[in-house]
Amino acid sequence: MFLNQIGADVRVRELIRPFEAEGMELGRVSFAAHEQYRVYLEAGEMEAVPAGRLRWDEELPAVGDWIAARRVDGSLAWMESVLPRGACFSRQAAGNTTAEQIVAANIDLALIVCGLDNDFNLRRLERYLVLTQESGAEAAVVLNKLDICDCYMERADAVKQLAPDTPVLAISARESGVDPLQAVVRGRTVVLLGSSGAGKSTIVNGLLQQQSQPTAPVRASDSRGRHTTTSRMLLPLPQGGAIVDTPGMRELQLWATEDSLEKVFQDVLELAKRCKFANCSHLSEPDCAVREALETGSLDPLRWESYRKLQQEVRRHSRSRLDQAEEKKRWKSIHKEMRKHPKYNR
């Protein structure tokens, strides 16, 4: 069955059973942008429209979502409900408002792609690792453009120091292909993350074994790409599984908890535990293990500054998210009461 090939496991099949009794069928969202949707059903891919109650409850589908669908005709489906999500990759939506933007749902593995040219950035990688930790998916780092880098081992070692338990794979997708990734992604739902120009679309084409996604050269001055991928799409892999290609993110604000942050910065957390005072600010207190590590060079000052910056960002957004949750709860209650009004029940 086709949906089994793109991730419909026992858990998903159990979730859809109550809806099948009402004449609905299982589907998976393959495209979602600007109020336009496409879904995969057993019969193939077709256009889709969300039911009104999804808008009322503010649970519009995202790419990768499993949904209960009702076919209108041979080319259009009505999305009745979003099934409970597994690992879900989110970020703080761009702009000034505090809101969650779901990048991809029901993800097994996040491939964080870093170019070995001017795109290589450990601080950006730390952000992606925190977001992946928060999502619940596994992570692997892909160092791309091996053919143009003379210091690969040095950069690979730097990544392994940041994330000792995360697999690191080095490839040259354009020159020699993506064979090292095939065994890692087979049978799984994978999301590719990384900045524009890192080579994500080239990797997608290699895994799909066809020229599906457009590619373009990067600027020589800073290795920036030109957003050849403009929308998130879920694409079936030839050997089973699916891949979600995402546009490069120039603005990557955290949507995560302190718990996820501390798991990525476990080395910093272990140092802080050795401070004399449990509430040490690591500024002027005596016997501060963090300051001592900074002075001896065993803790990179750039990593420490990155941790402090991300911690402040997480805490600021956590306060905003609490306010937003209360506001959402209030409006949901208002909408519920509105639906009981005689005007909406004629």
Mean per-residue pLDDT over the chain, rounded: 85
Burial class (CB in 10 A: 0-12, 13-18, 19+), 296: exposed
In the chain, which residues fall in CATH 3.40.50.300? 88-245
The per-residue pLDDT for 232 is 82
The per-residue pLDDT for 218 is 46
Looking at per-residue pLDDT, the higher value among 175 and 304 belongs to: 304
Looking at per-residue pLDDT, the higher value among 268 and 322 belongs to: 268
Residue 13 has pLDDT above 80, yes or no: yes
Q: Percent of the chain, pLDDT > 90?
A: 61
User: CATH assignment of 2-82, given 2.60.410.10, 2.40.50.140, 3.10.290.10, 3.40.1160.10?
Assistant: 2.40.50.140
Residue 334 has pLDDT above 80, yes or no: no
Q: What is the reported pTM?
A: 0.81
Looking at per-residue pLDDT, the higher value among 58 and 227 belongs to: 58
Residues 6 or more apart from 170 whose CB is under 8 A from it?
A: 116, 142, 143, 146, 152, 156, 180
Structure tokens at 214: 């457009």
CA dist list (Å): 39 to 24, 36, 54, 212, 262? 14, 10, 16, 18, 37
pLDDT digits (tens, 9 = 90+) for 210-266: 755 444 454 444 444 444 445 789 999 999 999 998 765 445 666 788 999 999 999
pLDDT tier for residue 25 given thresholds of 50, 70 and 90: very high
Structure tokens at 95: 């702009």
Residue 325 has pLDDT above 60, yes or no: no
pLDDT digits (tens, 9 = 90+) for 183-211: 999 999 999 998 888 888 899 999 998 75
CATH of domain 258-338: 1.10.40.50
The per-residue pLDDT for 316 is 82
pLDDT tier for residue 322 given thresholds of 50, 70 and 90: low
Q: What is the mean pLDDT of residues 124-139?
A: 94
The per-residue pLDDT for 245 is 81
The per-residue pLDDT for 216 is 43
The per-residue pLDDT for 212 is 54
The per-residue pLDDT for 93 is 65
Structure tokens at 310: 């991300």
Question: Which residue's entry shows tokens 């690969």?
Answer: 152
Instruction: Please name the fold of domain 88-245.
Output: Rossmann fold (3.40.50)
SS3 141: strand
Q: Which of 215-219, 280-284, 337-341 has the lowest mean pLDDT?
A: 215-219
Structure tokens at 113: 């792609």
In the chain, which residues fall in CATH 2.40.50.140? 2-82
The per-residue pLDDT for 205 is 92
The per-residue pLDDT for 255 is 79
In the chain, which residues fall in CATH 1.10.40.50? 258-338
The per-residue pLDDT for 149 is 86
C-alpha span between 229 and 87 (Å, rounded): 23
Q: Which of 14-28, 64-78, 246-260, 278-292 has the lowest mean pLDDT?
A: 246-260
Q: What is the mean pLDDT of residues 142-170?
A: 92
SS3 94: coil
Q: What are the beta bridge partners of residue 77?
A: 48, 71
The per-residue pLDDT for 339 is 63
The per-residue pLDDT for 29 is 97
SS3 19: helix
Structure tokens at 220: 């020589």
